[in-house]
Structure 1
Amino acid sequence: MQRDLTWKTLASEYLLKDTWATIRIDTCQKPDGVIIAPYYVYEFPNWVTAVPFTKDGRIILERQYRHALGETMYEIPGGCVDPSDKNFEEAIARELLEETGYKFDSFEYLGKTSANPSTNTNLMHMFIAYGGEEVQGQELDHGEDLEVLIVTMEEFIELFEQGAFMQSMHVTCIYNALRKIGKLQLI
């Protein structure tokens, strides 16, 4: 029988509440009675991302500068789930349309992952998007500036194998998508 490892939250106080950063400080008690304080928790909205395929089977990528690392990098499209989104599929469809201008025929859910379950409250929900067709220009959020790239499967796999994707949750989504479509085999 497995023992219950759940901590009890004794107190919680917000250090910062802002659009992109909400940080709280918890006082917790472990099952053995030990008090852990302060314990910092970062609250974020849930995120969505997708490996998006055009109608002719190419993959849509993005190049975007990421200020925290000071680097421009390859990514797959995605973003925050908005309160107005009815579900994660609607959220990724909206993000894809805004960032790339492409609308998709269907979506396949690949699961969820966490950037850091020890401090972050949110999850990244991962998809494959099929049948993309450009229907409009980009509608980027304030602060977004990204290039859309359309690559072949061979180019995509080569970029992946070269380690061109740095965002760990994007790497997880790409890995799961390549496995799902039979382009990556487990050893």
Structure 2
Amino acid sequence: MTDEQLKWKTLSSEYLFKDTWLTARKDRCERADGKIIDPYYVFEFPEWVTAFAVTEDDKILMVKQYRHALGEVGIELPGGCVDETDATFEDAIRRELLEETGFAFESVHALGRTSANPSTNSNLMHMFVATGGKKIQGQNLDDNEEIEVLEYSFEELFQLLDEKRIVQAMHITTIFYALRYLDKLNFKP
């Protein structure tokens, strides 16, 4: 089958809930073979950005914060939602890095995109690697944010990964692509 033959046609959509951070809708869809799928629930979120951020002295910036849905404090990469004021995804990650860590970066390279769950979530997270970071200001956090900035060596990061201390799957994906881009992965045959 071609990609077009696999795509569904949306016959109708009904919004069930709309708020700043969550929008839920119920779709009625038709497959290419004529089968009707009703209801199909979709969660709409803003686009996200995250970065594997490396300082000019080769430290990896991570953030520690409470995540209420899990009820846990976690270690993650810096990042967040793309704002309407961001002209590009790169602008968004540069803004998020500055707000959350106070660091500005010489270089930002796009690594691609990933989805938390493409069967239910409509958005993507855009992954970056940022290098040459230099602290230029204090944090400028949103009202609901309490973020501790952590600095790790590459060796310490690998220890965190070995200990399974990073649970945010999309951030682990970003870490993988960044380590690959930076030629820090050594696969053994």
TM-score normalized with structure 1 length: 0.96
User: How many pairs align?
Assistant: 187
Residue 179 (structure 1) aligns with: 180
CA distance in 2 between partners of 1:35 and 1:60 (Å): 48
Tell me the alpha carbon deviations over residues 76-111 of structure 1, each in whole angstroms, 9 at most, x when there is no partner. Answer: 100001011010110000000000011111101111
Tell me the alpha carbon deviations over residues 40-89 of structure 1, each in whole angstroms, 9 at most, x when there is no partner. Answer: 11111110000101111111111111000001011010000101101011
Residue 59 (structure 2) aligns with: 58
CA distance in 1 between partners of 2:186 and 2:110 (Å): 19
Residue 167 (structure 1) aligns with: 168
Q: CA deviation at 1:163?
A: 1.4
Task: Decide which moves more: 170-179 or 153-162.
Answer: 153-162
- For 2:169, the aligned partner's letter is S
CA distance in 2 between partners of 1:64 and 1:7 (Å): 39
Give the match's secondary structure for 1:32.
coil
CA distance in 2 between partners of 1:184 and 1:142 (Å): 38
CA distance in 2 between partners of 1:103 and 1:7 (Å): 43
Tell me the alpha carbon deviations over residues 11-53 of structure 1, each in whole angstroms, 9 at most, x when there is no partner. Answer: 1010011001101110011111111111111111110000101
Which aligned runs of 4 or more in structure 1 are off by greater than 6 angstroms? none
- For 1:2, the aligned partner's letter is T
Residue 86 (structure 2) aligns with: 85
- For 1:51, the aligned partner's letter is F
Residue 19 (structure 1) aligns with: 20
TM-score normalized with structure 2 length: 0.95
| Cα root mean square deviation, aligned | 1.1
- For 2:155, the aligned partner's letter is E
Q: CA deviation at 1:158?
A: 1.1
Give the match's secondary structure for 1:96.
helix
1:8 is the counterpart of 2:13: no
CA distance in 2 between partners of 1:64 and 1:151 (Å): 16
- For 1:183, the aligned partner's letter is K
Q: CA deviation at 1:2?
A: 3.0
Give the match's secondary structure for 2:13.
strand
Q: CA deviation at 1:161?
A: 2.2
Unaligned runs of 5+ in 1: none
Q: Mapping of 1:1-187 within 5 angstroms?
A: 2=2, 4-186=5-187
- For 2:140, the aligned partner's letter is E
CA distance in 1 between partners of 2:29 and 2:162 (Å): 42
Give the match's secondary structure for 1:93.
helix
Unaligned runs of 5+ in 2: none
Identity of aligned residues (%): 57
CA distance in 1 between partners of 2:109 and 2:163 (Å): 26
